[in-house]
Chain A
Amino acid sequence: MAASDFILNVVFYALAAAAVGGAVAVATSRNIVRSAFALLAVLFAVAALYAVMKADFIAAAQVLIYVGGILVLIIFAVMLTHRITDVKLSNDSTPGPAAFCACLCLLFSLVVVILFTAKWRRDSDVATLNNKVFEVALRQYQSDGSTGIQFGGTALEDSVVVSADVLVVPDASRSVDQVVFTVSAPETRDAGGKDQKETPEKEKEKEPAAKDLDDVSAKDVQVQSTFLPYAGRTQTYRHTFEKLPVGDYHWRVKLVGHEKDVKGELQSAEWTFPAAKTDFSVRKGVTEPIALALAGPYLFAFEVVSVLLLAALVGAAFLARKEVKGV
Chain B
Amino acid sequence: MTPTVLAAASWTLDLTGIPVLDAFICIFVVCFILINFIAVYAGVSTYAERKIAGHMQARVGPYRIWWHGFGVWIADALKLMIKEDIIAKNTDHLLFKLSPYVVFAGSFACWVALPFLPHWSPASFNIGILYLLAVSSAVVIGILMAGWSSGSKWALFGAMRSAAQIVSYEVPIGITLLGMLLIYGTLDMHAISDAQSKGLPFGFMDDKYGGLWSWGINRYPPFTVIAFIIYYIGALAETNRTPFDIPEAESELVAGYHTEYSGMRFSFFFLSEYANMFVVSAIATTFFLGGWQPPVPSATGTLYLVVGTLVGAAVGYGIAKRGFDAFVGAMLGSGFAALVAVFIAQPAADAAFTGTGLAQLVGGGFWFFSKCFTLIFVMIWLRWTLPRYRVDQLMDLCWKKLTPLALINLVAIGILETRQEWMRWFTGGHP
Contact = CB atoms under 8 A, between A and B. Distances in A.
Contacts of A285: 126-127
A71 B342 CA distance: 50
A127 B188 CA distance: 34
B30 A151 contact: yes
B126 A3 contact: no
A60 B131 contact: yes
B153 A85 contact: yes
Interface string B93-113: 011000000000000000000
B137 A60 contact: no
Interface stretch (A72-80, A102-110, A223-231): A72-80
B263 interface: no
Given A57-B130, A64-B133, A148 B23 contact: no
Given A37-B145, A72-B140, A79-B156, A153 B91 contact: no
B417 interface: no
Size bracket, chain B contacts: 35 or more
Interface string A134-165: 00000000000001111111101000000000
Interface in B1-40: 2, 6-7, 9-10, 12-13, 18-20, 22-23, 26-27, 29-30
A52 interface: no
A71 B9 CA distance: 41
Nearest to B187: A287
Contact of B126 (A59, A88, A156, A284): A284
Contacts of A152: 6, 9, 12, 26-27, 29-30, 122-123
Contact of A7 (B20, B26, B131, B188): B20
B134 interface: yes
Contacts of B18: 3
A156 B188 CA distance: 18
Chain A CB within 10 Å, residue with most, of B9, B10, B144:
B144
B127 A287 contact: yes
Contact of B137 (A59, A67, A153): A67
A57 to B, nearest CB: 6
Contacts of A47: 134
Contacts of B13: 153-154
Contact of B141 (A60, A67, A156): A67
Majority secondary structure of chain B interface residues (helix, strand, loop or mixed): helix
Interface in A50-89: 56-57, 59-64, 67-69, 71-72, 75-76, 79, 84-85, 87-88
A33 interface: yes
A153 B6 contact: yes
Given A153-B6, A156-B23, A64 B160 contact: no
Given A33-B148, A67-B141, A154-B22, A147 B27 contact: no
Interface of A: 3-4, 6-7, 31, 33-34, 37, 40, 44, 47, 56-57, 59-64, 67-69, 71-72, 75-76, 79, 84-85, 87-88, 147-154, 156, 284-285, 287
Interface of B: 2, 6-7, 9-10, 12-13, 18-20, 22-23, 26-27, 29-30, 90-92, 94-95, 122-127, 130-131, 133-138, 140-141, 144-145, 148-149, 151, 153, 156, 160, 163, 167, 170, 187-188
10 contacts: A3-B20, A7-B23, A34-B95, A59-B134, A64-B137, A68-B136, A79-B156, A85-B153, A87-B92, A150-B2
Given A56-B127, A60-B127, 9 more contacts: A3-B18, A3-B19, A7-B23, A44-B138, A57-B130, A61-B134, A63-B135, A64-B130, A153-B6
